Chains A and B, each alone.
Chain A
Amino acid sequence: MTRLPAAVPGAKRLGLVIDLDTCVGCHACAVSCKEWNSGGEAGPLPDYDPHGPKPDGVWFNRVHSYEAAGQGCSRTVNLPRSCMHCEDALCVTVCPTGASYKRAEDGIVLIDPEICIGCKLCSWACPYGAREFDEEAGVMRKCTLCVDRIYDQSLPEAEREPACVAACPSRARHFGDLGDPESRVSKLVAARGGNDLLPELGYRPTNKYLPARSATIPTASEAAEQSGGGGGVGVALLRLLDRVLSR
């Protein structure tokens, strides 16, 4: 049924929390996602003309980089974009076949590729551009939140997280239950003022983005003052080493 499950307060809502302060835009999450989902339950994810002049294909996760104006200086914002597993998922209710559905037990939005007729209406209904059409199978595809990993009892417990989260080298991606206010991810969102993308569209996305902390780049003289009158490159390197090791 493509009607949305009734919203129960405190119900499990699995999703991602993405830290835009630490995301370095390396695309590891996107590549790892593509790799994991090219096999397994969701696979294969098609590539068209992969070695030709116009490579194209289906990806569940795309990483954009933007330049945002700031105080005094602009800053780079890297934005991984994938399915938000919305509470008000219009992609689910527009589906004429019941192929697109939202799970009552954990809020994950999925597509049943055995039922999908490939009408593409769900992709029109998604403001995040999270759904991509599989030209080879003739059906729509999307992020599954690695539903074939997160419940897999044969994996060590620490690995039962989406491939994108496991791959992130700067630990900018977090996975958990956003329906539980006491969960690690919910606390992270509360502490860091995590927010929705496109809140004005009213889809109530489950995934949250932690804003970049405001930073100002000190001028050369300020920098010299802060570092206690210098010390040279050697001291700066030692300081950096100290910070890395004490993480």
Chain B
Amino acid sequence: MRPAVSVLLLTTLTGFAYGLLAWTGVYAFLGLLPATPHFAAASTLLGLVIASLGLGASALHLGRADRAWRAFSQWRSSWLSREAVGAVLTYPVVILFLLALRWDHEGIAPRLLGAAVAIMALGTVFCTAMIYASLKPIRQWHNSHTAPDYLIYAVFSGALLFALLHAVLVGGSASIFVIVPVTAAIALLAKRAYWRHVDAQTPLASLASAIGLPKDVEVRPLDAPHFTENYVLREMGFTIARRHSARLRRLALGLAFAAPLFLTVLAGLAVAPLPATAAAVACAALGLLTERWLFFAEATHVSALYYGRAA
């Protein structure tokens, strides 16, 4: 599948943003938010700004962005519509949460609204993941790894942003500096498990079954319908050299998970907490963009079979 920049930005940025909102909500629910006056405001606003950037990037993917509002209508059947509804509903819930926090910092209302923020944020990430997980013609997406993986990467990258804010506004020693390395390790293992899974998959169909012959008949393309690329080939027939993908996989694991793990352990041990956490966020952003690029580039679509390409 063609890795469109708009979609890479959407899924990566909303992962960071909704992860940050979710951790803010969870900390509020547990009554563990730092007492620093502007922490919750800063983290929720940062979350909303990054989420808005991601959602704005996704509008670039649309052929008719002026009609984007129509995407809120089909939430009964479409995960894309559910994602849009979840993303928009998260805004008022976050604002209510902030108002409740200002009104009554110690009360039950901000705690419950914190839980609601976390549920809305992770729910939206889940909807994003299900857009991909529900597509039957793409075996690398339509499996039991996709949805949990998107949640894990959001929880990890959000915790990392939360830690950065903590280092900036409060200081380097806190529970979040234990949480980040743990989520980084889980995310690293999840990505490796995903690659093991997709590498062991067998193709969903053969060219023979694509043209109505018994599955095991040997078939090869003779003449293509057209001699230049068309939409189907550009969008669904994207291929990546195995050599490149192996290199990029190592780069993604190192940048997205291993480097932030190491850097946040340093920060947690009070070794230059602010620069270390900031560097960890930069590494994770680049690494997760690489990881997301691979998620698309390595995904194959059954329709590419008709053109003699792998699926």
A200 nearest CB neighbor, chain B only: B205
The interface-forming segment of B56-64, B153-161, B177-185 is B56-64
Which chain B residues border A203 with CB–CB below 8 Å? 136
With contact pairs A69-B219, A90-B136, A202-B136 given, residues A121 and B80 touching in the complex (Cβ less than 8 Å): yes
B231 contact set on A, CB distance < 8 A = 56, 58, 123, 132-133
Complex: how many Å from CA A129 to CA B233? 9
Decide if B112 is an interface residue (CB 8 Å cutoff): no
| Binary flags per residue of A185-217, CB closer than 8 Å to B gives 1, else 0 | 000000000011111111100000101000000
**Which B residues are in CB contact (< 8 Å) with A92?**
77
Residues of B in contact, count (CB < 8 Å): 58
Known: A2-B78, A90-B135. A97 touches B205 (CB 8 A): no
Q: Let me know if B219 and A97 touch, CB within 8 A.
A: no
Whether B79 contacts A94 by the Cβ 8 Å rule is: yes
Contact A129 B236, CB 8 Å, known A54-B228, A76-B222: yes
- Looking at B1, B78, B80, B302, the one whose CB has the most chain A CB atoms below 10 A away is B78
Contacts A94-B134, A95-B78; is A124 near B301 (CB within 8 Å)?
A: yes
Closest to A68 in B: B219
Is A83 an interface position by the 8 A CB rule? no
Q: In the complex, are the beta carbons of B225 and A62 less than 8 A apart?
A: yes
Closest chain A residue, CB of each to CB of B220: A67
Please determine whether A77 and B213 come into contact, CB atoms closer than 8 angstroms. Answer: yes
**Whole-angstrom CA separation of A97 from B302 in the bound complex:** 25
Which chain B residues border A155 with CB–CB below 8 Å?
A: none
Interface string of A120-155 (1 = CB under 8 A from B): 110111111100111101111000000000000000
Which segment of B17-25, B32-40, B67-75 sits at the interface?
A: B67-75
Contact A96 B78 (CB under 8 A): yes
Interface residues of A (CB under 8 A from B): 1-3, 20, 25, 27, 30, 54-59, 62-69, 76-77, 79, 81, 90, 92-99, 115-121, 123-129, 132-135, 137-140, 195-203, 209, 211
9 sampled A-B residue pairs with Cβ under 8 A: A56-B226, A62-B230, A64-B306, A66-B207, A117-B64, A117-B67, A120-B63, A133-B235, A197-B209
B-side interface residues toward A, CB under 8 Å? 1, 61-65, 67-68, 70-74, 76-81, 84, 131, 134-138, 204-205, 207-213, 217-226, 228-232, 235-236, 301-304, 306-307
